[in-house]
């Protein structure tokens, strides 16, 4: 049974029944039966309250039902410690410990006057050494967990807003005028450059019996002027004939042109040995005239195509200067 008071009463009743119903057992006067097997001498006067034991000069210890010390009585009041109520008190005198049962348990933490704590009117139980009350177990202190350091939240860094540049206004593409291509001019064919003059050597008839021909070089464009008065075109490879009879291309008889109005009639030729020097027109830009000596009878053949008759005293000109057809080259 968990209630020590009820347990003690049951033992006492059982002991009385045994004592009355069985053979009488002689006990010393003033003793009682120890339910734990020990025999203790009972005092002549039973204490009624806790203060009676306190006046006897004994050491008083409150004990719980589990035989754990619940406090020490040292003054007019007592307070049970721990978490369980005190159900008995142990009085220590010298080396002897007696346990008295409390009529009413003392609750822990409640200040109770010693005179108000009543004892059960039964003889105390003398405790064996192994029955001595045990000190209250030291409470195991709960590990103190240090409070965590306050966590300071990191400041929230607001991202810097990215400022988007305003889009540049779209400029319309300039309208490029379509270039007007001028109509290409018709390609004018390049004028054909005049063919370079191809000079040719001819035997020019002088009209002299002793020197009938002179070897001269003229332009082919001037051949027409020489073809009509007995020139040998082209000059033979062996050279010009030295006599009139050697000519392979006889010249026709010269035709005397009628004098122009206002011009004096030409002097009739002599015997053919009267020589005169003239500037014979070649038709070449580089060598426009050749100085030749012809008979006066041949002057008519030279007066019609720009020869200078007679040749100037300073020599034939080096530039083109056509005659005026009157035979004087001026």
86-102 pLDDT, tens digit per residue, is 999 999 988 899 999 99
- 158 falls within a domain: no
Exposure b/e, 244-264, CB count within 10 A at least 16 = b = beebeeebeebeeeeeeeeee
Task: Tell me: pLDDT of 85 over 50.
Answer: yes
pLDDT band at 6 (very low <50, low <70, confident <90, very high): low
Q: State which of 89, 113, 131 marks the end of a domain.
A: 131
Q: State which of 131, 150, 183 marks the end of a domain.
A: 131
What pTM value is reported for the model?
A: 0.33
Question: To the nearest whole number, what is the mean pLDDT of the chain?
Answer: 74
- What is the domain range of residue 102? 4-131
pLDDT band at 262 (very low <50, low <70, confident <90, very high): very low
At residue 14, the pLDDT reads 56
In this structure, the answer to whether residues 219 and 322 fall within a common structural domain is yes
At residue 249, the pLDDT reads 46
Q: What would you measure as the largest C-alpha separation in the chain, in angstroms?
A: 232
Average pLDDT over residues 146-160: 82
In this structure, the answer to whether residues 309 and 209 fall within a common structural domain is yes
How far apart CA 306 and CA 221 sit, in angstroms, is: 13
In this structure, the answer to whether residues 10 and 114 fall within a common structural domain is yes
In this structure, the answer to whether residues 319 and 211 fall within a common structural domain is yes
Residue 73 structure tokens: 């009585």
Task: Tell me: pLDDT of 255 over 70.
Answer: no
- 173 falls within a domain: no
- 163 falls within a domain: no
At residue 125, the pLDDT reads 92
Strand 125-126 and strand 96-106: the pairing is antiparallel
- 155 falls within a domain: no
- 170 falls within a domain: no
At residue 88, the pLDDT reads 94
- 159 falls within a domain: no
Q: State which of 105, 131, 157 marks the end of a domain.
A: 131
Residue 114 structure tokens: 């010693």
Task: Tell me: pLDDT of 250 over 70.
Answer: no
In this structure, the answer to whether residues 204 and 328 fall within a common structural domain is yes
Average pLDDT over residues 142-159: 81
Task: Tell me: pLDDT of 17 over 50.
Answer: no
Total tally of structural domains belonging to the chain: 2
In this structure, the answer to whether residues 201 and 127 fall within a common structural domain is no
- 116 falls within a domain: yes
Task: Tell me: pLDDT of 64 over 90.
Answer: yes
At residue 197, the pLDDT reads 59
At residue 12, the pLDDT reads 61
Cα–Cα distance list, 240 to 247, 286, 290, 301 (Å): 8, 24, 17, 19
Strand 96-106 and strand 69-73: the pairing is unpaired
- 153 falls within a domain: no
Using CA atoms in the order 31, 33, 34, 38, what is the torsion angle rounded to 10 degrees?
70
**For the segment 263-298, what is each residue's pLDDT rounded down to a tens digit?**
444 444 444 457 888 888 888 888 888 888 888 877
How far apart CA 53 and CA 55 sit, in angstroms, is: 5
At residue 196, the pLDDT reads 55
Q: Return the beta strands (E) in the chain as ranges.
A: 31-32, 40-41, 59-64, 69-73, 77-79, 86-93, 96-106, 111-113, 125-126, 200-205, 213-218, 275-281, 289-295
How far apart CA 261 and CA 266 sit, in angstroms, is: 13
Task: Tell me: pLDDT of 213 over 80.
Answer: yes
Contact call for residues 305 and 279 (beta carbons, < 8 A): no
Q: Burial level of 177, CB count in 10 A (0-12/13-18/19+)?
A: exposed
């Amino acid at each position: 049974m968990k209630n020590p008071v009820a347990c003690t009463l049951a033992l006492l009743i059982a002991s009385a029944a045994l004592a009355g119903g069985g053979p009488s057992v002689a006990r010393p006067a003033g003793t009682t039966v120890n339910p734990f097997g020990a025999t203790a001498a009972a005092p002549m006067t039973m204490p009624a309250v806790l203060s009676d034991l306190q006046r006897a000069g004994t050491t008083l210890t409150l004990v719980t039902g589990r035989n754990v010390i619940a406090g020490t009585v040292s003054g007019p009041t007592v307070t049970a410690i721990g978490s369980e109520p005190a159900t008995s008190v142990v009085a220590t005198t010298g080396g002897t410990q007696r346990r008295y049962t409390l009529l009413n348990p003392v609750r822990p933490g409640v200040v109770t006057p010693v005179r108000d704590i009543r004892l059960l009117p039964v003889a105390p139980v003398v405790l064996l050494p192994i029955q001595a009350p045990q000190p209250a177990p030291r409470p195991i202190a709960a590990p103190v967990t240090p409070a965590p350091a306050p966590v300071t939240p990191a400041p929230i860094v607001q991202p810097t807003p990215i400022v988007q540049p305003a889009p540049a206004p779209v400029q319309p593409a300039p309208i490029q005028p379509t270039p007007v291509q001028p109509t290409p001019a018709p390609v004018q064919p390049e004028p054909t450059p005049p063919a370079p003059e191809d000079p040719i050597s001819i035997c020019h008839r002088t009209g002299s019996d002793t020197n009938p021909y002179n070897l001269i070089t003229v332009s082919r464009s001037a051949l027409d002027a020489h073809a009509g008065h007995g020139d040998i075109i082209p000059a033979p490879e062996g050279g010009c004939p030295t006599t009139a009879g050697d000519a392979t291309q006889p010249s026709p008889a010269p035709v005397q042109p009628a004098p122009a109005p206002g011009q004096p009639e030409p002097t009739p030729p002599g015997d053919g040995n009267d020589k005169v020097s003239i500037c014979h027109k070649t038709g070449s830009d580089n060598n426009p005239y050749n100085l030749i000596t012809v008979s006066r009878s041949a002057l008519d053949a030279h007066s019609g195509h720009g020869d200078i008759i007679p040749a100037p005293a300073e020599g034939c000109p080096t530039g083109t200067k056509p005659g005026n057809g009157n035979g004087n080259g001026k």
